[in-house]
Amino acid sequence: ATPPPSLAFIDTLKMRRILAIFIISIHLTLVSSSYGTRRGARGARLQILGRTLSPAKFAKGATRSHGVNRCFKARAMSAPIDSDPLVRIGHGWDIHRLEAGLPLTIGGVKIPFEKGTVAHSDGDVLYHSLTDAILGAIGMPDIGQLFPDTDPRWKGADSHVFMSEAHKLMTERGYRIGNVDITLIVQKPKLKDIKPEMAENIVGLLKTQPSRVNIKARTHENVDSVGEVRALACHAVVLLEKIQ
């Protein structure tokens, strides 16, 4: 018969098992702590018009009313980040259908015209595209996610609310306006005499200087929906400077 193992050998095996369990426990504790720290750093709450969007709202399956989905979880931060570049560039674009009997607002200016924009809010293509440009420059979700057209709060809303919120998020991120370049694509009405008032509105909302805001307007040469006065569109490009 095979002789039983010595007590010393059995004690050695027990000690090895205890030591292995101890090492594994320490490793799991460190991993859990590290994950919690990273999650806490990324889980900074995002304030949108007084609403606090917690990390849970960024989870998989979040609805549009939460404003953002999980693909933006790691980027939904309104606080400065050490690795942020000195300048950021954003682009925004918007288009709205035109129908008879509706009000027309562009750049915060109410314009007398036979047609107006079909939209959930006031349909200001300039403010919408510029808001998107700012949000894009700081890596935030687009205007449709932050202010969904399924939310009754934004029904008929003045779009300066969206611009003001974008400015707030930009400032919290540690940036200011470098310059704004707007291209309105509108067949009718003519906007030449209205552009200065639009620029003044932008300067006030974004708390910048008149020399940093430029607005251009052109027709669509009677081509497609814009050229046939069935729609109007706008492109916005913004450069942001890091506040030193």
pLDDT digits over 21-37, tens only?
666 666 555 544 444 44
pLDDT confidence of residue 24 = 64
C-beta of residue 232 within 8 angstroms of C-beta of residue 129: no
pLDDT at residue 173 tops 50: yes
Q: What is the pTM of this model?
A: 0.69
pLDDT confidence of residue 145 = 80
More confident residue, 72 or 222: 222
Q: What percent of the chain has pLDDT over 90?
A: 51
How far apart are the C-alpha atoms of 132 and 159, rounded to whole Å? 12
pLDDT confidence of residue 40 = 42
How far apart are the C-alpha atoms of 186 and 92, rounded to whole Å? 16
How far apart are the C-alpha atoms of 22 and 16, rounded to whole Å? 10
pLDDT at residue 44 tops 50: no
More confident residue, 50 or 55: 50
Question: For residue 130, which amino acid is it?
Answer: L
- What value does the mean pLDDT take over residues 230-234? 96
DSSP string, 65-104: GGS--GGGTTT---S--TT--SEEEEEEEEEEEEEETS--
pLDDT at residue 61 tops 50: no
More confident residue, 123 or 15: 123
C-beta of residue 211 within 8 angstroms of C-beta of residue 171: no
pLDDT confidence of residue 30 = 52
- Render pLDDT for 65-120 as a digit per residue (tens, 0 to 9): 344 443 344 344 556 677 889 999 999 999 999 999 999 999 999 999 999 988 77
How far apart are the C-alpha atoms of 178 and 217, rounded to whole Å? 21
> Mean of the per-residue pLDDT values for the chain?
78
pLDDT confidence of residue 63 = 41
Q: Which residues contact 90 (CB under 8 A, 6 or more apart)?
A: 132, 133, 134, 135, 136, 137, 138, 237, 238, 240
pLDDT confidence of residue 83 = 83
pLDDT at residue 133 tops 70: yes
pLDDT confidence of residue 159 = 83
pLDDT confidence of residue 142 = 81
pLDDT confidence of residue 14 = 65
- What value does the mean pLDDT take over residues 191-204? 96
Q: How far apart are the first and last CA of the chain?
A: 83
Looking at the DSSP assignment, which residues form a beta bridge with residue 96? 232
